Amino acid sequence: MANGLTRRQLALAALAATTAMADDTPDYVGPLTGFESKVNPAAFDSVAWVQKLYEDAPLRLTFRAKNKAQAIVWQNELRAKVTDLIGGFPAAKSPLNSQSLEVREYPNYRREKFVFESRPGLGVLAYLLTPKKAAAPLATVLCIPGHGRGVDDIVGIDDKGRDRTVKEGYQFDFAVQVAEQGMAALAIEPLGFGCRRDADARKHGLKQKACEPAAGSALLLGETMIAWRVYDVMRAIDWIESRRDLDAKRIGCMGISGGGTCTLFATALEPRIKAAMVSGYLNTFRDSVFSLPHCIDNYVPGLLKWAEMYDVAGLIAPRPLFAESGENDRIFPVASSKESFARVKKIYEIIGGPAEHDIHSGRHEFNGKKGIPFLKAQLV
C-alpha cells in the first residue's frame, strides 16, 4: 500500500489519468497523433504509395501506333493479352437450354422473361423487350445493369415485383428506354445480382450484392468476374442468333457503372457487338478503381503492366463508341473521364469510326439523352 492506496487503486488512478489525457486530445486519429514533427505522415498513406507505383507501371502495350496498319496489329496483340489476363473463355460452347418463363404485353412493347445456361449448370435470367411498332428482324441492344437490385432495375420492375411507370433510381429503366426508341432490349442479370446471388446474400434483402465471395473466388481460380460476365454477354448473343425476330448483325451493348465495365470489356473482345454505349465508367484505372473504394469485380490482375482503361476501350475501334459521364460523379471523376476519352479519340482518329463523349450535369447515374439516339443511329 502507498499513502493508504492499494495497488489496484493506484492502477485505476493511472488509467483514469491516461483516459483524461486522451480526452484532452480530441483530434486523436491514430498512433502517430502528436508525432507529426518526427515523421512524415504521407509516408504512411497507402493510396499515396500505390499512386507512386502507378507512375512506374510499364503499360507495355499502351497505344503507340502511328498508322492504321500498326494500330490493327496493336489491337490484335492487346486483345489477346486482355483475354488472357481476365482468365479466358471456355474452349467449347455448351447448350443454352433456353426456356421462356413469361410474356407480358405493354402499350408500347412486349416483355418476355426467359432463362438460359451460359455454362453447364450456370443459369442466366434475362428479359427481352421488343417494340410493337418496329418491323422484325430488330436491331437489339444488350442492356447490362450496374450495382443494385439487378436486371429489375432497368426493365420497369419495382422492389415489390410490381410494374412501375415512373423511371427511378440511378439507372432510370434504360432497357425500357431502348424499347421506346424502337430497338429490342435484351437485359441480362449479371452474376452476383438479383436472382444470381448466393443464399446468404439473399437473406439481406434485394439490394445486397453478392460480388463477393464469387469475384474473389474467381481470382483464386485464375479467372475474373469480368470474364464471367462478359461470357454471359457472348452467350446472350448466341441466343439472339437463334431468334428470327432479332437481327444478329445489328447488336449493340450498353451499361451503367459495373454494367459499363461489362459493356466496355465485352465490346472490346466480342466482334459481334457493332456499337457500344458506356455510361458512368470510362475513366482511368489510376483515378478510379486504383485510388477509390470499388467492388472487387472491377479488378484484373496484372492489367497495368500492359494497358490502361483507354487502351481497352481502343479495342472497340472502328465500331461506334459513345461514353457518358456525370459532372458530379465522385467514383469515376469527370476530369479523368475526359482525359481517358481524349486518349480513346486519338485511337479512333487513326483507326477510324465514330466516338463521342457526353458530360451531363448529374452524378453517378444513367442519362442516355444523347447516347440512346447515338446507338439508334448506328444500328437502325
Query: Phi and psi for 249 in degrees, rounded to 5?
Result: -90, -5
What's phi and psi for 343, nearest 5 deg? -70, -45
Phi/psi zone of residue 53: left (φ > 0), alpha (ψ -120 to 50 degrees), beta? Answer: alpha
* Banded pLDDT at 206 (limits 50, 70, 90): confident
The number of residues in the chain equals 380
Given its phi and psi angles, is residue 352 left (phi above 0), alpha (psi -120 to 50 degrees) or beta? Answer: left
CA distances (Å), 126 to each of 111, 150, 247, 252, in order? 10, 11, 18, 16
Q: What is the pLDDT of residue 7?
A: 61
Quick: pLDDT tens for 295-354.
Answer: 999 999 999 999 999 999 999 999 999 999 999 999 999 999 999 999 999 999 999 999
Whether the predicted pLDDT of 145 surpasses 50: yes
The three cell numbers of residue 86 are: 481476365
Does position 19 have pLDDT exceeding 60, yes or no? Answer: no
pLDDT in tens, 24-54: 556 888 899 888 889 998 899 999 999 999 9
Strands 184-188 and 275-279: unpaired
Indicate the average pLDDT of the chain.
93
User: Going along 228-333, which residue ranges are E strands?
Assistant: 246-256, 275-279, 321-326
How confident is residue 104, by pLDDT bands cut at 50, 70 and 90? very high
Instruction: Tell me: pLDDT of 133 over 80.
Output: yes
According to DSSP, residue 3 is labeled T
The yes-or-no verdict on residue 177 having pLDDT over 90 is: yes
223-261 residue pLDDT tens: 999 999 999 999 999 999 999 999 999 999 999 999 999
Residue 377: the pLDDT is 98
Between CA 13 and CA 62 the distance in angstroms is 64
Q: Is the pLDDT of residue 18 over 70?
A: no
For the chain, percent of residues with pLDDT exceeding 70 = 93
